[in-house]
Structure 1
Amino acid sequence: MGFTKIRKIPSPEEILDMVPLTENLKKIKSARDAEIEKVVTQNSDKFILIVGPCSADEEDPVCEYVSRLAKVQEKVKNEIIIIPRIYTNKPRTNGEGYKGMLHQPDPQKEPDMVGGILSIRRMHVRAISESGLTAADEMLYPDNLPYCEDMLSYIAIGARSVENQQHRLTSSGISIPVGMKNPTSGDLTVMYNSINAAQVSHTFSYQNYEVKTEGNPLSHAIMRGYVNKHGENQPNYHYEDLLFASEMYEKKNLQNPMIIVDTNHANSNKKFFEQIRIAKEILYSRSYNQTIKKYVRGLMIESYIHEGNHSPDKRIPGKSITDPCLGWEDTERLIYYIAEHI
């Protein structure tokens, strides 16, 4: 076989003992989870805003960014729940490039999976301690979920993973909201089937055990645009798209229907500054149509301290080394605009 064993990775129990979540931080997470769940179950009129860098590449700037978000959260707490994006696993379209902190805790050094897991936990613990905000991450590798699940308040399933059986089954055992993105093909049926799969109980193999899940009633939809047969990015955030997705949701027998719109990726054609215009258009669509307002109850925005992006070998703390992001000043203004227009 073409595998070389480098070293054994400690068990989740061992890792959690090395970097534990204190009782106080557990209480913060529990309170945050309850508040977010109320939005998903339509017991709160607040709007969810998942915002942060494309990839969490370094502890200091990530924690500084999250602390800035915490100050804004206090000002918009009656209208918005801010969930920081702390994305530590990055899918790569062609398999090459920076794969996230899990693989490389230092983007300029060689891969170190154990070091990556420990760095992720330390970063999350510090972010929660300094800001009081618990974060979102993408579940790229289902088997790695036990290393970080105790710290997260939101999980996204990416467009490349949403058709994968293990992602769907694992999502059915998660107790926090899981957002299912539409696949890169754009077929919304795939997304709704994935939501359905996550909401029901399953028995399957996981972490060397035969397990049975209860189903996750908090799984829901994320619209992120798609790619056509010519490889061109196509948006699905326009009025007609949101109305179609909402009406399609109404026909499904799914619990807690909710749509979050990703303003970047294929929706913006990766033109990061377009996220401002896109967010405003979505807010206008919500105000114009009550069906859209009922279902579209959150946005995803890619943002960091400095706008744009750059390569890992030209590292500027607080600037994305993967997809380009909005800068802080534009982000702060946009959050206040959203709070005023939801």
Structure 2
Amino acid sequence: MHTVRTANFRVTGVDPLPAPARIRDEIPVPLAAQQVVDQTRHDITTINEGEDDRLVVVTGPCSVHDPDAALAYAERLAHLAQEVSDQLLVVMRVYVEKPRTRLGWKGLVSDPRLDGSHDIHSGLRLARSLMVRILDTGLPVGCEFLDPAIPRYLSDAVSWASIGARTVQSQVHRQFASGLSMPVGLKNSTTGSVEDAIDAIVAAGSGHVFPGIDDDGAAAVLTTSGNPDCHIVLRGSSAGPNYGAVHVAKTLDLLEAAGLRRSLFIDASHGNSGKDHNRQPQVVADLAGRIGEGESGITGVMLESFLAAGRQDLGRADRLSYGQSVTDACVGWGQTVHMISELADAVASRRSSPAHLSLVS
């Protein structure tokens, strides 16, 4: 009898992953690191709610391709974060998944050896090990979640997560964000639509029932209670930046009209800098000036920063420049210190402003 193949017609390989629980057991988060995660999740929420007047700063490379360089960056950042801890809560950007508009390197989890071998088994372990080592410096970890299976392997080490501009309209991403245990920033869409992100915040704030995997790696129906700690990240678009005071005020009004908190993060990179890393300091200077003068509603700032400024094309791993991005261009360490110091000074200035003093008196 003639048979017709209708399943897996274009699937050329199936390689089962270890269960999330197994990976977490192999690479546990130590108690002290768990306390960092728990405390900083709480602190980010209270900052967004206006109960803590510090500013969240999420900074780090566009994507992690060299764990050793990322850890060296973390060690420097941990010292700086301690110096400004009264004004800022610094979170290290540890992005191990990369969405691509067309094609390209998909991140440390997907291709840890940077050679197209796609050893996801090693990538998951490498990403988790790096996050634990960064937590050991005292820094909280922030990352973007792209594949809905990945949070099961990594989320217990993450204090802040983001849903990117390419996926903010995705029902799948809104559903799994509703079950994440940390605050989640949802970016405006690549077209610049703020409404898409607001819709995503409302959706992720509600409970959902959807298919996924459990801690043992088995297919399961997941039921979530909803995530009340989601917020919008203004990142600009191809149409131009949206970090200005007018854009911020309009977005805050839209959030309030949707019954949401009047608070937001601003990404100083991407569309807000015209994808030119040299403009990030200009964006930060503008934000710092406005924050220092008492502008409300901005509770977080995102930076793309690494040890060395700029970017490089991905080639042989042994020929890459140390500490320089292989995806979007980043500012270097010197500019990072300057921008973080500027934002810390802005918070200090805001505290001494008449408007702030009248609120706390």
For Structure 1 versus Structure 2, the TM-score category normalised by the shorter chain is: over 0.9
The residue aligned with 2:59 is 51
The residue aligned with 1:97 is 104
What count of residue pairs does the alignment treat as equivalent? 331
Matches within 5 A, 1:224-263: 224-228=235-239, 234-254=240-260, 256-263=261-268
CA shift, 1:15, in A, is 1.1
CA shift, 1:170, in A, is 0.8
Select which of 223, 237, 246 maps to 1:212: 223
The residue aligned with 2:117 is 110
Unaligned runs of 5+ in 1: 229-233
- Are 1:8 and 2:16 matched, yes or no? yes
Structure 2 letter corresponding to 1:337:
E
CA shift, 1:31, in A, is 2.1
Cα distance change, pair 248–286 in 1 and its aligned pair in 2 (3 A): farther
- Are 1:83 and 2:103 matched, yes or no? no
In structure 2, distance between residues paired with 1:24 and 1:77 = 18
- Are 1:309 and 2:311 matched, yes or no? yes
The residue aligned with 2:357 is none
The residue aligned with 1:29 is 37
CA shift, 1:340, in A, is 0.4
Select which of 198, 208, 227 maps to 1:202: 208
Q: State the secondary structure of the residue aligned to 1:93.
A: coil
Cα distance change, pair 73–299 in 1 and its aligned pair in 2 (3 A): same
In structure 2, distance between residues paired with 1:160 and 1:49 = 22
**Larger deviation: 295-304 or 36-45?**
36-45
Structure 1 letter corresponding to 2:224:
T
CA shift, 1:55, in A, is 0.4
The residue aligned with 1:119 is 126
Structure 1 letter corresponding to 2:344:
A
CA shift, 1:23, in A, is 2.2
Q: State the secondary structure of the residue aligned to 2:309.
A: strand
In structure 2, distance between residues paired with 1:301 and 1:152 = 18
The CA deviation string for residues 170-216 of structure 1, in whole angstroms up to 9 with x for no partner, is 11111211000000111111110001011111222221222221111
Unaligned runs of 5+ in 2: 1-8, 214-218, 348-361
**Larger deviation: 152-161 or 101-110?**
101-110
Q: State the secondary structure of the residue aligned to 1:211.
A: strand
Cα distance change, pair 285–24 in 1 and its aligned pair in 2 (3 A): closer
**Larger deviation: 74-83 or 109-118?**
109-118
The residue aligned with 1:42 is 50
In structure 2, distance between residues paired with 1:171 and 1:318 = 31
CA shift, 1:6, in A, is 4.3
Select which of 291, 296, 299 maps to 1:297: 299
Q: State the secondary structure of the residue aligned to 1:104.
A: coil
CA shift, 1:37, in A, is 2.2
CA shift, 1:155, in A, is 0.4
CA shift, 1:14, in A, is 1.3
Structure 1 letter corresponding to 2:311:
N
In structure 1, distance between residues paired with 2:30 and 2:291 = 40
The residue aligned with 1:231 is none
In structure 2, distance between residues paired with 1:25 and 1:287 = 33
In structure 2, distance between residues paired with 1:283 and 1:125 = 32
Q: CA RMSD in A?
A: 1.4
In structure 2, distance between residues paired with 1:285 and 1:31 = 28
Tell me if structure 2 keeps the 8 A contact 1:108–1:312: no
Select which of 150, 160, 170 maps to 2:156: 150
CA shift, 1:133, in A, is 0.9
Q: State the secondary structure of the residue aligned to 1:7.
A: coil
Tell me if structure 2 keeps the 8 A contact 1:153–1:176: yes
The residue aligned with 2:269 is 264
Q: Deviation above 3 Å: which 4+ runs of structure 1?
A: 285-288
Tell me if structure 2 keeps the 8 A contact 1:226–1:266: yes
Per the normalisation by structure 2, the TM-score is 0.89
